[in-house]
Amino acid sequence: MLKNMKFIKFLLGLTTLTASTIGFAQNSEEKEWQHVYDAREAFYEKNIGKLPNDIMKASNLFGVWPGGGFYVIPADKIKKGLWVYSTFGLTNSDMPSTLTATDIEIKHNDQGRVISSSSKLEKKNRAMPSTGKAGYGYEVLMIAKENAEWPLWFMQWTGNIVLLNDVDLLTRVEKNNGLTIEEIPVGNDENDTINVLIAKAQKPLPTDIKLPNGNMQFLIATVITDEEMQWSIENGRDALLKKLMVSGAGQISDRNRSSIVK
């Protein structure tokens, strides 16, 4: 379990860009980047739903993750009425990143919204994934029953821990049969937090694909209750995932769901 990770606490500040503006020009490396992007986009649209025209980008990750961001996708191919919140670009051909952001300064208005931000880019050693992985080797999804803001807090939290703090979520999931994280902030109120179980996608959800630059795994973050968090510590994260699947809750996040353990 990753515990009390509020040291990465932030207030939501996302910028919306037209997706086509994040592409590159046309030398060989850039053509490979676009080839990977197009293959991933096709997989999403076949198995999840049509990508919106706009991608959301975290201002503190602009230089670190120039071709990546977050999508909010009507997940009609999974089930009508569901929404998928997804990283999009951790598997880009220019990942893992060789840059990190330091001296991050964020200014907010009276409503807590980001009005400006600044940071300094510094070189870092590339955290090389295992052979055969596309970029970091995974994209992270949260599936919810609503189009809301709180999952975007989680997505930006994910971008921060992967790109700025070099946390390899896939390796931790594989080593520990899943990963539980408690008290992730998802609002301006410090008490507005969620617990999540991160695990590999389970069928009938799309699970993985071989992109032109390697293998991509879907990791699904599922909101769990305090009781389920404690139960997973005592009985195992894989056991909790099995109970979620059997109960019908599956890997869909519902903050109002009753606990499946007693």
Q: Is residue 122 part of a domain?
A: yes
CA angle (205 as vertex; 200, 210 as ends), nearest 5:
70
Span 3-17, average pLDDT:
45
Q: Is residue 261 part of a domain?
A: no
Task: Name the residue with higher pLDDT: 211 or 27.
Answer: 211
Identify the band that residue 189 occupies on the pLDDT scale cut at 50, 70 and 90.
confident
Q: Is the pLDDT of residue 111 over 70?
A: no
DSSP code for 182: E
Identify the band that residue 30 occupies on the pLDDT scale cut at 50, 70 and 90.
confident
Provide the mean pLDDT of the chain. 85
DSSP code for 248: T
Q: Tell me: the pLDDT tens digits for 112-159?
A: 555 455 556 677 666 665 679 999 999 999 999 999 999 999 999 999
Write out the H or E segment, with its range, that includes residue 42. helix 28-47
Q: Is the pLDDT of residue 62 over 50?
A: yes
Q: Which of 120, 161, 149 is nearest to 6 (CA)?
A: 161
**Quick count: other Cβ atoms within 10 Å of Cβ 165?**
11
pLDDT value at residue 16: 59
Which of 68-77, 110-119, 188-197, 230-239 has the weakest average pLDDT? 110-119
* Burial (CB count <10 Å: 0-12, 13-18, 19+), residue 46: exposed
Task: Name the residue with higher pLDDT: 110 or 253.
Answer: 253
CA distances from 35 to 32, 46, 90, 129, 171 (A): 5, 17, 15, 20, 26
Q: String of b and e for 94-106 (b: at least 16 CB within 10 Å)? A: bbbbebbbeeeee
Q: Which of 249, 145, 260 is nearest to 199 (CA)?
A: 249
Q: Is the pLDDT of residue 177 over 70?
A: yes
Which of 74-83, 93-102, 151-160, 187-196 has the weakest average pLDDT? 93-102
* Structural domain range at position 199: 6-253
Q: Is residue 258 part of a domain?
A: no
Write out the H or E segment, with its range, that includes residue 174. helix 169-176
Specify the pTM: 0.85
Q: Is residue 259 part of a domain?
A: no
Q: Is residue 1 part of a domain?
A: no
Q: Count structural domains, the chain.
A: 1
Give the C-alpha separation, 55 to 202, whole Å: 26
Q: Is residue 116 part of a domain?
A: yes
Span 106-113, average pLDDT:
55
Q: Which two tokens stand for residue 122?
A: 């510094």
Strand duo 99-108 + 114-123: pairing: antiparallel
Q: Tell me: the pLDDT tens digits for 231-249?
A: 999 999 999 999 999 999 9
Identify the band that residue 36 occupies on the pLDDT scale cut at 50, 70 and 90.
very high
Q: Is the pLDDT of residue 40 over 50?
A: yes
